[in-house]
Copies of this chain bind each other. A is one copy, B any other.
Amino acid sequence: MATPLPRDPIADARLNWERHGWSDVAAPMAAITAIMRTQQILLARIEGVLKPFGLTFARYELLALLSFARSGALPMNKASALLQVHPTSVTNAVDRLQQAGLVLRSPHPTDGRTTLIELTPEGRTLAKRATAALNSEVFAQSGFAEHDVDQLIGILGTFRRNAGDFSE
């Protein structure tokens, strides 16, 4: 981001909403807009850290997911469900990771429809290094106070449950 703006554009938008008689929804509008912008900032930081590893966030997420799987392999549909992205996005990420030699596709032993994604040794190593970088350069300096982190986890957890992400 170049120069900071003199005023918070989201607070201004909220004022505009109130001025137009939409006071009842101005606050949620501001909160939602703030979430969008915060995501954008965080994503940019993460991508910046991952770039030297030749990874994007989407590819990193898949690599990290595989590295936590007991066998180091997962069916594509499982990965799609856990990462909560469209199956085509997983196909895309696997294509590129495979081309980079970080994962392999292998047939499912009993279900001919299913493809397993498997971490290569190089993939496992890179996942470790990238995770260490993200931990120290992004998560350890998130810019959120400790108490705010807990608040966010609680508020967004409730939201995600209500949105149907998970049952428990």
A residues near B (Cβ < 8 Å) are 1-2, 4-11, 13, 16, 22, 24-25, 27-32, 34-43, 64, 68, 81-84, 131, 134-135, 138-140, 142-146, 148-153, 155-168
Given known contacts A8-B157, A153-B30, A25 and B139 CB-to-CB distance under 8 angstroms = yes
Given known contacts A16-B68, A82-B5, A152-B34, A25 and B160 CB-to-CB distance under 8 angstroms = no
**For A139, what are the chain B residues with a Cβ–Cβ distance below 8 Å?**
25, 28-29, 32
Docked Cα-Cα span, A150 to B7, in Å, equals 19
Could you tell me if B135 and A6 are in contact, using CB atoms closer than 8 angstroms? no
Q: Which of A22, A134, A152 has the most CB of B within 10 A?
A: A152
